[in-house]
Amino acid sequence: MIGRLPQTLRSDALDNRARILDAARAVFAAEGLDVPMREIARRARVGPATLYRRFPTKQALATEAFTEQMSACHTIVEEGLADPNPWHGFCLVIEKLCELHARNRGFTTAFTSAFPYAMDLAAEREHALTSLAELARRAKDAGQLRADFVLDDLILMLMANGGLHTRSTNARVAASRRFAALAIRAFRA
């Protein structure tokens, strides 16, 4: 019986893949997900065929490009869940998620809408939302989170946070911090 050997990429193919991901991350962060694949290929200094050979769809590219952000999102939520004071943990999650999303506009779109057909990202998103729901339940049980809070309120807040437009990332992060503080006040029981 002949089995398939694992495919290892040549060093130039690995370099191309890394450049594509770097370009995609930068473009998605600055401009969102509406950037054409050809523009990503141009910025990565590869041909469109090379881009499509490595990432046949934009969904596949976005899923791979946002792996670090999803990991950071999980870390933030786990940190909030680990806090013995559920309200403090909830506030920490809101502040840090707003900042994470302010630094990457494309990730906000992918997270809040479960980028179509990106199953890996959708599953990761669902895990994060389940953990957030648990944290919200704890904060409600402690009497510190509004009784009428629903998880969709958090998604709506992230979408609104994603709508902050400024010329620089630093200004967007500063505006996001202010927005998070206002949202926290609105969510408090």
Q: Please report, for the domain that includes residue 128, its CATH number.
A: 1.10.357
Indicate the pLDDT class of residue 5, thresholds 50, 70 and 90: very low
Residue at 95 is within a domain: yes
pLDDT tens track for 30-53 = 777 788 999 999 999 999 999 998
Q: Are residues 76 and 49 in the same domain?
A: no
Domain count within the chain: 2
Look-up of token digits 């690995």: 14
Look-up of token digits 């919200």: 136
Residue 10 in this model has a pLDDT that exceeds 80: no
Q: Are residues 92 and 111 in the same domain?
A: yes
Cα dihedral: 136, 108, 65, 20 (round 10)? -170
pTM (predicted TM-score): 0.72
Residue at 1 is within a domain: no
CATH number of the domain enclosing 35: 1.10.10.60
pLDDT tens track for 13-26 = 778 888 998 898 88
Mean pLDDT score of the chain, rounded to an integer? 83
41, 58 contact by CB (below 8 A): no
- Tell me the Ramachandran region of residue 98: left when phi exceeds 0, alpha when psi lies from -120 to 50, beta otherwise: alpha
3-state SS class at 125: helix
| pLDDT at position 1 | 45
- Please tell me which residue, 149 or 100, carries the higher pLDDT value: 149
The whole-number average pLDDT for the span 59-72 is: 82
Residue at 162 is within a domain: yes
Distances (CA, A) of 65 to 25, 34, 52, 101, 127: 6, 14, 15, 14, 18
pLDDT tens track for 109-159 = 666 654 444 445 567 777 888 899 999 999 999 999 999 999 989 888 988
SS3 for 138-177, per residue?
Answer: HHHHCCCECCCCCHHHHHHHHHHHHCCCCCCHHHHHHHHH
Q: Are residues 82 and 174 in the same domain?
A: yes
Residue at 110 is within a domain: yes
Look-up of token digits 């191309």: 16
Residue at 151 is within a domain: yes
Q: Mention every residue, 6+ apart, whose C-beta is less than 8 A from residue 149.
A: 136, 140, 187
